[in-house]
Structure 1
Amino acid sequence: MTAHHQDDQAETVLLHLFRGAGIKGLSGISATRLFSQGFLHRPFLAISRETLLTYATRHQLIWIHDESNVDPYFSRNFLRQQVLPLLKTKWPSVCKNLVRASELCREAQVNLDDLAEIDCPLLQALHNSTTSIELGCQELSVNQLMHLSDARLSNVLRWWLQKNAVRMPNYETLRRLFHEVIQADRDSSPEVRWGNWVVKRFHDRLSLHQVDLSLPLDTVQWLDFPNSLALPGIGTLSAQLAAEGIKLSPGSKLEIRFRQGGETLCWHGQTKSLKKLMQEWHIPPWSRSKIPLVYVNQQLAAVVGYAISDLFYSNNVLESYDIQLMMTFVFE
């Protein structure tokens, strides 16, 4: 819980206004929001600083005074010391009125969020989710967006990014998302970046990612198969006996590699290029290098989640292992 008060709210609204914020920014400080594993509450937003100071003095409460709060170099201090006092000489209730305006903006924002869910039904699943990762809502369907006006499309994109805890791009970057990504040809793979984030398109899918600065993934030996194998930055591989899956001969050397280029797979009676197979499976280009490839005695035996080589396929439940990947998502 924090002691933000009415004057803090008024300052915040003015700061956002001077910076050209929209409805959400003009909503100011929220009274309650998610914070770590719990909630952050600000119960005093409707109470003036003067009222709180009078109460604290009367009850001999002790508080810490931050010396930086008197430096007018900082924008908030400049507003507090010079702008708001001047405004109060003409409009004594200016802080109260700014807070009321922020509440009206917050109501308008709720309506805009509801409209976004109507315009893009995929967002409805995200509304009640505490972690969008669980529902795969880092992706949107371009087809659901194409019929929208620019204003409603902007509203959907802002809602989507906000719910995924992404720093909002500026106006120019948002417009680039319209023209360079959403309106791009279906067979292109455009992307737009800002900060640590990038939005990419593959066919009808619009997807959100953190910029990947990781090094190429190394080969990992699966020494204690079928026990689980952790792949840092990717997830965890598990293996269970199943009705069909990969068959291993005693003493086989098992290792996990990642695509480098030029791989082939014996599948459905043909030797096929892994690159072409991934295209047929509609795997986005940026995901292909992170799909685990199971090699047995230096031969490609399986593409986890997609295919098993004819040379290693078995439907004998006593010797067939189904290998699955539990993916790890990290959104900061």
Structure 2
Amino acid sequence: MSQSAIDLPSRLLLNLKPWRNAATWRIAFSGGLDSTVLLHLLAHPATTESLPALSAIHVHHGLQAVADAWPEHCRAVCAALGVPLQIVRVQVQPGASLERAARDARYHAFTEVTRPDDVLLTAQHRDDQAETLLFRLLRGAGVRGLSGMPRQRPLGKGHLLRPLLDVTRAELEAYASEHGLSWIEDPSNLDRQYSRNYLRHQVFPALTRRWPQAVATMARSAAHLTEAQGLLEELADMDLREASSVGEFAWLGLRSLELASLAQLSDARQRNALSHWLEPLTRLPDTDHWSGWEDLRDASGDACPVWRLADGELHRAGGRIWWLSGRWLRTLPVAGTWQDTRSPLVIPDNGMLSLTGQIPDGPLQIRYREGGEVMALPGRGHRDLKRLLNENAVPSFVRGRLPLLYKDGQLLAVANLNGLDGGAIGNWHLHWQPLNEDQGLS
């Protein structure tokens, strides 16, 4: 038995040492070589050492007829090792990249099953890391992409961990051979129309013939870039703290940043900070689409620019940039009549209203701004609602969502705006609690 194969179990347990207190170690088990070795490496110590509960999950994509036999193979392997197995069938959405669609479906399944204090273990190794680095380099990735696959990251309510990133494919093959393991050979792995397969079967053999240490040095480069990305994230945190002052309309519950703080940074630091801020909210734009940020930033003061991204929009208003997604971008249905004003009113797709103080007599109606509204104010006469909203510096994207309270066709109050919320004409106030992203908007 080779030294590398002897050393592999202890190396793996050393990599997993910080995670010994997890509730569960769940192995992403495709049935292929890599995950078969990972499962076998952990199944034996799980019977002799105090480790987290060990289980496996197999995601069945149903993309090939031959794959229908794989769940049964995985079931047999897990039964022989005494490891519980969960089989999840997923529907892969059609798209330009079948590889990406299958990966998205697989990781969605992983996210769904990962509970608090669970760790999902995947079997990517050092050769995979080198392939990822080269693949992303050819696509023009930046530091974040070229840092490769992270050793760990949040997943669902738990974490994803890749404990074999310092292990080579050759070491895994040697271990499998020496222990007589059997595994699934996915025929699609030989199809060189897929970019990763082309790199694996055509490019890397040529590279390693010329530079035998290519895989190791590329993985080392990915580690250096991971460190660089960490520094960029620290810088982004510093810049975002400066731009994260609480604004006048914080009650909207929306994510926003102070534009002036960002604008004084260099262009590169602006992109770095915004990328860090946007990363959990949307798929990030590629290099060509960052001109949308410059257009939003540099628009004239009276403009209401919008930068449309994959999963939402950035708006500029009141000296701030605002992230809008979900129901904030949908057309509102008609609000209607408020029958029992003593109880809060849930407004379709727009949060909740309540009245405090000496509640005015009904019947009352809730409407939204259409243009041309006029409001009577004590001591000021009749005023155009548009001018009143301008005086209060209400962001443009809020104006069509602000609930307006009417009685007998007369505009009585505009929710949440001091002096317009009912207090000026009576001893009562109209309160609006908008929906926010924590309530399902993102």
Compute the TM-score of the two structures, normalised by the length of structure 2: 0.64
What's the counterpart of residue 160 of structure 2?
40
Counterpart check, 1:114 vs 2:234: yes
- C-alpha change, 1:98 and 1:217, in structure 2 (3 Å) is same
Within 5 Å, give how 1:227-242 maps onto structure 2: 227-239=343-355, 241=356
Within 5 Å, give how 1:75-154 maps onto structure 2: 75-122=195-242, 138-154=255-271
- C-alpha change, 1:173 and 1:144, in structure 2 (3 Å) is same
Counterpart check, 1:205 vs 2:320: yes
Q: Structure 1 residues 210-219 or 102-111, which shifts more?
A: 210-219
- C-alpha change, 1:59 and 1:322, in structure 2 (3 Å) is farther
Q: 8 Å contact 2:292–2:307 — kept in the other structure?
A: yes
Q: Give, as a single letter, the amino acid of the residue that structure 2 aligns with 1:44.
A: L
Q: Structure 1 residues 95-104 or 34-43, which shifts more?
A: 34-43
Q: Structure 1 residues 202-211 or 15-24, which shifts more?
A: 202-211
Identity of aligned residues (%): 34
Q: Give the Cα–Cα distance (whole angstroms) in 1 for the partners of residues 191 and 139 of structure 2.
A: 20
What's the counterpart of residue 73 of structure 2?
none
**What is the DSSP-based 3-state SS (H/G/I as helix, E as strand, rest coil) of the residue aligned with 1:44?**
coil
With CA pairs under 8 Å and 6+ residues apart, which has the higher RCO, 1 or 2? 1
CA deviation after TM superposition for structure 1 residue 311, in Å: 7.6
**What is the DSSP-based 3-state SS (H/G/I as helix, E as strand, rest coil) of the residue aligned with 2:291?**
helix
**Structure 1, unaligned runs of 5 or more:** 126-132, 315-319
- C-alpha change, 1:262 and 1:124, in structure 2 (3 Å) is closer
What's the counterpart of residue 323 of structure 1?
431
**Structure 2, unaligned runs of 5 or more:** 1-119
**Higher radius of gyration, 1 or 2:** 2
CA deviation after TM superposition for structure 1 residue 268, in Å: 4.3
CA deviation after TM superposition for structure 1 residue 118, in Å: 2.8
Superposition RMSD in Å: 2.8
CA deviation after TM superposition for structure 1 residue 70, in Å: 1.7
Q: Give, as a single letter, the amino acid of the residue that structure 2 aligns with 1:308.
A: D
- C-alpha change, 1:189 and 1:91, in structure 2 (3 Å) is same
**What is the DSSP-based 3-state SS (H/G/I as helix, E as strand, rest coil) of the residue aligned with 2:217?**
helix
CA deviation after TM superposition for structure 1 residue 110, in Å: 1.3
Q: Deviations over 1:283-324 (max 9, x none)?
A: 12122111122233443232221132468521xxxxx46534
Number of equivalenced pairs? 312
What's the counterpart of residue 247 of structure 1?
359
Q: Give the Cα–Cα distance (whole angstroms) in 2 for the partners of residues 67 and 262 of structure 1.
A: 66
Q: Give the Cα–Cα distance (whole angstroms) in 2 for the partners of residues 197 and 124 of structure 1.
A: 20
Q: 8 Å contact 1:188–1:203 — kept in the other structure?
A: no
Query: Would you tell me which structure has more strand in proportion to its own residues?
Result: 1
Q: 8 Å contact 2:253–2:434 — kept in the other structure?
A: no
Compute the TM-score of the two structures, normalised by the length of structure 1: 0.83
Counterpart check, 1:72 vs 2:192: yes
What's the counterpart of residue 182 of structure 1?
297
Q: Structure 1 residues 322-331 or 168-177, which shifts more?
A: 322-331
**What is the DSSP-based 3-state SS (H/G/I as helix, E as strand, rest coil) of the residue aligned with 2:400?**
helix
**What is the DSSP-based 3-state SS (H/G/I as helix, E as strand, rest coil) of the residue aligned with 2:346?**
strand
Q: Give the Cα–Cα distance (whole angstroms) in 1 for the partners of residues 422 and 201 of structure 2.
A: 73
CA deviation after TM superposition for structure 1 residue 200, in Å: 2.3
Q: Deviations over 1:67-112 (max 9, x none)?
A: 3222110111111111111111122222222121111111111111
Q: 8 Å contact 1:117–1:123 — kept in the other structure?
A: no
- C-alpha change, 1:69 and 1:269, in structure 2 (3 Å) is farther
Q: Give the Cα–Cα distance (whole angstroms) in 1 for the partners of residues 359 and 219 of structure 2.
A: 67
- C-alpha change, 1:258 and 1:122, in structure 2 (3 Å) is farther
Counterpart check, 1:257 vs 2:367: yes
**What is the DSSP-based 3-state SS (H/G/I as helix, E as strand, rest coil) of the residue aligned with 1:95?**
helix
Q: 8 Å contact 1:291–1:304 — kept in the other structure?
A: yes
One of 374, 392, 400 as aligned partner of 1:281: 392
Q: Structure 1 residues 20-29 or 87-96, which shifts more?
A: 87-96
What's the counterpart of residue 334 of structure 2?
218
Q: Structure 1 residues 57-66 or 279-288, which shifts more?
A: 57-66
CA deviation after TM superposition for structure 1 residue 123, in Å: 6.0
What's the counterpart of residue 165 of structure 1?
281
Q: Give the Cα–Cα distance (whole angstroms) in 2 for the partners of residues 32 and 205 of structure 1.
A: 34
Q: 8 Å contact 2:147–2:225 — kept in the other structure?
A: yes
What's the counterpart of residue 421 of structure 2?
308
Q: Give the Cα–Cα distance (whole angstroms) in 2 for the partners of residues 323 and 134 of structure 1.
A: 11
CA deviation after TM superposition for structure 1 residue 63, in Å: 4.7
What's the counterpart of residue 130 of structure 1?
none
What's the counterpart of residue 51 of structure 1?
171
Q: Give, as a single letter, the amino acid of the residue that structure 2 aligns with 1:232.
A: P
Q: Give the Cα–Cα distance (whole angstroms) in 2 for the partners of residues 110 and 124 of structure 1.
A: 21
- C-alpha change, 1:188 and 1:200, in structure 2 (3 Å) is same
What's the counterpart of residue 299 of structure 1?
410
Q: Deviations over 1:192-220 (max 9, x none)?
A: 32434332222411222238662343123
**What is the DSSP-based 3-state SS (H/G/I as helix, E as strand, rest coil) of the residue aligned with 1:102?**
helix
**What is the DSSP-based 3-state SS (H/G/I as helix, E as strand, rest coil) of the residue aligned with 2:264?**
coil
